[in-house]
């Protein structure tokens, strides 16, 4: 059995990431899920959250804004409307988005509007978490890209 899985993160606009990885951890429908080579095939929806993967022993981080993860025998494909690697995240923009949405949410009464605010807040939080984890990784001297 190979000791890597080919990870592909794709959005309608671009291939965000494509590389062999040793391990993938993502937040799926039923909670956090870690995929190692040899994992049984599955398809699951993903939350708006951070995903982590190991490349040559070093942890890499991305923000995945929902979507679907398909685990095959030798590859894992993540299809999402929007996803960013930690290094692509504009932290100041995510902070601004969080503050703006928190302020807007208090003004909103319509259920759909409140839900839209909650989704926007989740996107900002996922980006901030990914950027933070990415910085910690760099401080530890990790990261190969």
Q: How far is the CB of 75 from ligand ATP (least distance, A)?
A: 23
- Written as six digits, the tokens of 6 are 């080919």
Q: Quick one: which of 74, 56, 57, 68 has its CA closest to 7?
A: 74
Q: How far is the CB of 56 from ligand ATP (least distance, A)?
A: 26
Indicate whether 97 belongs to the interface with ligand ATP (CB under 6 A). yes
- Contact segment (CB under 6 A) with ligand ATP among 35-43, 48-56, 81-89, 134-142 equals 81-89
Q: How far is the CB of 93 from ligand ATP (least distance, A)?
A: 4
Contact 63, 128 (CB under 8 A): no
Q: Which residue, 71 or 125, is less far from ligand ATP as judged by CB?
A: 125
Indicate whether 120 belongs to the interface with ligand ATP (CB under 6 A). yes
Whole-angstrom distance, CA of residue 127 vs CA of residue 63 = 6
Mind giving me the DSSP string for 26-61? EEETTEEEEE-TTPPPEEEEEEEEEEEEEETTEEEE
Residue ranges in contact with ligand ATP by CB under 6 A: 65, 82, 84, 88-90, 93-94, 97, 120, 123, 127
């Amino acid at each position: 059995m190979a000791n890597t899985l080919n990870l592909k993160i794709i959005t309608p606009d671009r291939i965000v990431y494509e590389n062999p990885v040793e391990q993938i951890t993502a937040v799926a429908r039923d909670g956090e899920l870690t995929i190692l080579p040899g994992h049984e095939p599955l398809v699951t929806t993903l939350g708006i959250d951070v995903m982590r993967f190991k490349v040559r022993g070093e942890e890499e981080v991305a923000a995945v804004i929902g979507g679907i993860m398909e685990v095959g025998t030798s590859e894992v494909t993540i299809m999402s409307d929007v996803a960013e690697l930690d290094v692509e995240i504009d932290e100041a923009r995510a902070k601004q988005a969080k503050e703006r949405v928190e302020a807007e949410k208090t003004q909103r009464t319509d259920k759909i509007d409140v839900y839209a605010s909650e989704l926007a807040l989740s996107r900002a939080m996922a980006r901030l978490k990914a950027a933070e984890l990415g910085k910690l990784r760099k401080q530890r001297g990790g990261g190969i890209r």
